[in-house]
């Protein structure tokens, strides 16, 4: 494959990754709004059901996005184009493992969410918010890495 074709493929991957991030951002925003609902206005059972539904959607999309990034996504492109950035890719992969572990720990609580006592629901909600914050920071690091990899001019064009 020519360097030009590889550049187009890398940019297409980057654009696809950016689209996935935008979709995830919408899901994260919806989850934050749902978590912020005031229970007296809507009732605690309805809030729990909505948080459960939105959290499951967030988890599915996050897992899907991480799988795409790791299998055929930007990580391979970064390693090929900028091998000196491998340590940053590996750090992002570790964060992916941590996200998967956290989702695994939360899964039984999310499944049982509508039956949780209110204080346990609030605790699980705070854990979900912490995860959202970590994913936000992770997303910023990914975008920065993509920009550094694909948008930097390496010179050599006379």
Task: Tell me how far apart the alpha carbons of residues 132 and 150 are, in angstroms, rounded to a whole number.
Answer: 27
Entry pTM: 0.84
Residue 141 token pair? 């690091």
Domain boundaries along the sequence of the chain: 3-150
Task: Tell me how far apart the alpha carbons of residues 144 and 130 are, in angstroms, rounded to a whole number.
Answer: 21
Positions in the chain whose pLDDT score sits under 50:
1-5, 156, 158
> b/e per residue, 50-73, with b = 16+ CB within 10 A?
bbbebbeebbebbeebbebbeeeb
pLDDT at residue number 10: 64
Cα–Cα distance list, 139 to 21, 24, 49, 92, 116 (Å) = 8, 10, 27, 9, 31
pLDDT digits (tens, 9 = 90+) for 56-85: 999 999 999 999 888 877 788 888 888 999
User: Quick check: 132 and 36 in contact, CB under 8 A?
Assistant: no
Q: Where are the alpha helices (DSSP H) in the chain?
A: 3-36, 39-42, 44-72, 74-81, 86-111, 118-150
For domain 3-150, say whether CATH 1.10.150 is its number: no
């Amino acid at each position: 494959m020519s360097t030009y074709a590889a550049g187009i493929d890398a940019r297409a991957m980057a654009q696809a990754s950016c689209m996935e991030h935008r979709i995830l951002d919408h899901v994260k925003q919806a989850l934050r709004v749902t978590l912020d609902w005031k229970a007296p206005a809507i009732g605690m059972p309805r809030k729990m059901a909505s948080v459960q539904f939105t959290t499951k959607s967030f988890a599915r999309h996050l897992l899907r996005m991480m799988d795409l990034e790791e299998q055929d996504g930007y990580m391979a492109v970064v390693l090929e184009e900028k091998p000196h950035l491998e340590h940053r890719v590996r750090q992002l992969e570790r964060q992916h493992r941590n996200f998967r572990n956290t989702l695994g720990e939360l899964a039984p609580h999310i499944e049982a969410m509508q039956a949780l006592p209110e204080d346990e629901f609030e605790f699980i909600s705070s854990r979900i918010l912490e995860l959202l914050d970590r994913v936000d920071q992770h997303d910023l690091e990914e975008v920065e890495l993509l920009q550094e990899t694909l948008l930097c001019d390496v010179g050599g064009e006379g």
